Amino acid sequence: MQKLAILGSTGSIGRNTLDVVARHPDRYQVFALAAHRRIDLLEAQIRTFNPAVAVVVDPVAAETLSLRLAGSNLTTEIRSGADAIISIAQDAAVDTVMAAIVGAAGLPSALAAAEAGKRVLLANKEALVMAGPVFMNAVRQSGALLLPIDSEHNAIFQSLPADYQQNPGRHGVAHIILTASGGPFRGYDRKRLLKVTPEEAVSHPNWAMGRKISVDSATLMNKGLEVIEAHYLFGIDPERIRVVVHPQSTIHSLVQYIDGSVLAELGAPDMRTPIAHALGWPDRIEAGVPMLDLISSGSFDFLPPDLEAFPCLRLAFEALRSAGRAPAILNAANEIAVAAFLERQIGFVDIPRVIEETLTHIPNGPVDSLADVLAADAAARVYAQSRLAV
């Protein structure tokens, strides 16, 4: 029986994880759930899965939840605060940690799980984008098993040899090819992008996702963050990482080998597939996802990404080549800019402007510790905030 801690249980990945887990009560037991403050949904999850511990980051919301559960015969202990999430990520009773807290807020707990040598199901991109060298070092030192949940990286993981991580130089990998849906504004030029709204940006054509990642998908920053993620996860140079727009989102990513072979993972665009893959690995378990029917899925299209209209992908490649703190600066500026766009403080095309200005202004430096990363993150946020109204 695998004991799970699901960090970010009320988000999109957390809900999909519980959907898969509920199909396999013989294999998985939910030991802990953690959420920011959506206690209505967390309460329902607690009543269904009866975890030993539930964490609500917001202390007032935690208090409300405790009162609601008082008098029920549930034994779940309610804790609050960000430190409580770290403690469940490292709890000796936990085998597997689903790190699905969105954004920079998810970094400390994902890192804590890696340091504790857990089986880490990594859905949070920022652990690798902001702190790639620190995070991968923690994985190596603790012997943690790292399984990517991001659909592209999960597809690459599946398309690489099983012993790739032990011997990455000896497998003849020529390129990693990340597929991108192109988002809701695929084919738009800059003039048309001047008028797009947050509502349009969050309506993704293929994937149902949270608001922040949906905007990232619309700007192509999501793909840029994934390029950085792939670099650290698989130890592949930026020059060997390619991005191709594939509007159908059926091919989730590919690996090209030096002999000309290309291996890929295909499936319906449903996050339960990578979640079930990582939960079950090396076994395969049922995910509740309909089988892909090739005949009815129609044709597959491939296009180059438009870096003129969508500069965020170019900025991400540049930050990765600069390395050090630049990816953390890029990420922080993007979080500020996307939040401002969702609040209608800036336009869609201001997002790359704010990021580029922040990357130019904040000095780069080495990343030797989490403190280095958090310092760069904080400085970038302050500067990006100052560049919103210009």
CA–CA separation, 334 vs 358, rounded Å?
A: 9
Q: Which stretch binds Mg ion (CB under 5 A): 28-36, 144-152, 298-306, 348-356?
A: 144-152
Residue 337 CB, shortest distance to Mg ion, in Å, is: 20
Q: Which of residues 365-384 bind Mg ion (CB under 5 A)?
A: none
Residue 95 CB, shortest distance to Mg ion, in Å, is: 25
CA–CA separation, 4 vs 121, rounded Å?
A: 10
Nearer to Mg ion, 54 or 312 (CB): 312
CA–CA separation, 240 vs 4, rounded Å?
A: 35
Nearer to Mg ion, 150 or 356 (CB): 150
Q: Identify the bridge partners of residue 146 per DSSP, sorted by sequence position.
A: 120
Residue 3 CB, shortest distance to Mg ion, in Å, is: 27
Please report whether residue 216 would count as binding Mg ion according to CB under 5 A: no
CA–CA separation, 298 vs 68, rounded Å?
A: 50
Q: Which stretch binds Mg ion (CB under 5 A): 85-93, 152-160, 172-180, 243-251?
A: 152-160
> In the bound complex, which residue of the shown chain has the CB atom lying closest to Mg ion?
150
Between the alpha carbon of residue 117 and those of residues 8, 94, 97, 140, 143, the distances in Å are 20, 11, 10, 9, 5
Please report whether residue 229 would count as binding Mg ion according to CB under 5 A: no
Nearer to Mg ion, 94 or 218 (CB): 218
Q: Which stretch binds Mg ion (CB under 5 A): 149-157, 228-236, 239-247, 339-347?
A: 149-157
Q: Which stretch binds Mg ion (CB under 5 A): 107-115, 142-150, 300-308, 372-380?
A: 142-150
Please report whether residue 150 would count as binding Mg ion according to CB under 5 A: yes
Q: Which of residues 59-118 bind Mg ion (CB under 5 A)?
A: none
CB-CB contact of 235 with 156 (8 Å):
no
Nearer to Mg ion, 76 or 214 (CB): 214
Rg (CA), the chain: 20
Please list, in sequence order, all residues whose beta carbon lies within 8 angstroms of the beta carbon of residue 330, skipping any fewer than 6 positions away.
129, 224, 315, 316, 319, 355, 358, 359
Nearer to Mg ion, 125 or 387 (CB): 125
Closest CA to 216 of 331, 45, 299, 97: 331
Residue 226 CB, shortest distance to Mg ion, in Å, is: 6
Q: Which stretch binds Mg ion (CB under 5 A): 65-73, 98-106, 148-156, 267-275?
A: 148-156
Nearer to Mg ion, 155 or 319 (CB): 155
Nearer to Mg ion, 152 or 306 (CB): 152
Sequence letter at residue 218: A
β-strands 173-180, 145-148 pairing? unpaired
DSSP string, 272-321: HHHHHHHHHTTS----SPPPP-TTTT-----B---TTT-HHHHHHHHHHH
Residue 166 CB, shortest distance to Mg ion, in Å, is: 25
Nearer to Mg ion, 76 or 222 (CB): 222
* Residue written as token pair 């699901």: 6
Q: Please tell me whether residue 47 adopts helix, strand or coil conformation.
A: helix
Residue 122 CB, shortest distance to Mg ion, in Å, is: 12
CB-CB contact of 154 with 126 (8 Å):
no
Q: How many residues touch Mg ion (CB under 5 A)?
A: 3
Q: Which stretch binds Mg ion (CB under 5 A): 147-155, 174-182, 301-309, 320-328?
A: 147-155
CA–CA separation, 87 vs 113, rounded Å?
A: 9
Nearer to Mg ion, 91 or 226 (CB): 226
Binding site for Mg ion (CB under 5 A): 150-152
